[in-house]
């Protein structure tokens, strides 16, 4: 039977984070380009809350330059600017299958969410571009520094309609963007959860 925890107050177990990551677009002809030409570095910001030791949610915004290519030898490169904002649900696998430990060094946390992407033809929000939904997923590997600070390495990404691409659209309706992020997290408010002591175990 899973442990019962005391109710989490609204101001408890919030976190904010900032970092950066390498991004790569996966379109119909991008495989012909070199790895370094495809990769860009984009900043990332987030805010979130843990509702209990197993479940949480976060709001993430990440964006910057992204590249796509055309031609059998990637002769043409399209440089685009975009921002992806998404809401994710987080599931702490480590806390769920092992006994909850606030001081555990490592936690494994998959996420799934939905978002919205704005791609501009020139600078942010300038010129004609693309607006559309995204479907996001990632794997978080978190490392505790102390009660207030933690670090995580994340591998994930999202799928987006092929209208996002300034180059050839290809035959598939959805293309993808992969991110590898490094983020520093600051815990805000009360940190951690307390096991509830029930007067009647049948409750």
Contacts of 10 (CB under 8 A, 6+ apart): none
DSSP class of 152:
E
What would the two tokens of residue 74 be? 């990637």
Q: What is the pLDDT of residue 121?
A: 65
DSSP class of 72:
T
The model's pLDDT over 178-194, given as tens digits with 9 standing for 90+, comes to 999 999 999 998 988 88
Q: What is the pLDDT of residue 80?
A: 87
Q: State the pTM of this model.
A: 0.86
Contacts of 22 (CB under 8 A, 6+ apart): 39, 40, 41, 42, 179, 180
Which H or E run includes 37? helix 35-38
Name the nearest CA neighbour of 157 among 139, 174, 138, 133: 138
Which residues of the chain fall below pLDDT 50?
A: none
Q: How many angstroms separate the CA atoms of 64 and 22, rounded?
A: 10
Contacts of 7 (CB under 8 A, 6+ apart): none
Q: How many angstroms separate the CA atoms of 130 and 124, rounded?
A: 12
Q: What is the pLDDT of residue 152?
A: 94
The end-to-end CA distance of the chain, in Å, is 13
């Amino acid at each position: 039977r899973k442990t019962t925890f005391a109710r989490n107050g609204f101001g408890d177990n919030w976190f904010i984070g900032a970092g950066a990551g390498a991004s790569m677009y996966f379109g119909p002809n991008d495989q012909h380009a070199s790895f370094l030409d495809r990769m860009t570095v984009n900043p990332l910001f987030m805010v979130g809350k843990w509702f209990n030791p197993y479940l949480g949610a976060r709001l993430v915004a990440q964006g910057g330059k992204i590249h796509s290519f055309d031609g059998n030898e990637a002769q043409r490169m399209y440089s685009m600017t975009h921002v992806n904002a998404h809401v994710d649900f987080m599931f702490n696998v480590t806390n769920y299958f092992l006994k909850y430990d606030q001081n555990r060094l490592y936690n494994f946390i998959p996420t799934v969410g939905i978002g919205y992407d704005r791609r501009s033809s020139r600078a942010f929000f300038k010129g004609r571009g693309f607006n559309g939904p995204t479907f996001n997923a990632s794997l978080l590997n978190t490392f505790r520094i102390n009660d207030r600070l933690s670090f995580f390495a994340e591998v994930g990404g999202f799928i987006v309609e092929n209208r996002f691409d300034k180059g050839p659209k290809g035959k598939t309706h959805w293309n993808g963007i992969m991110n590898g992020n490094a983020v520093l997290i600051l815990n805000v408010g009360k940190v951690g959860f307390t096991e509830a002591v029930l007067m009647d175990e049948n409750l």
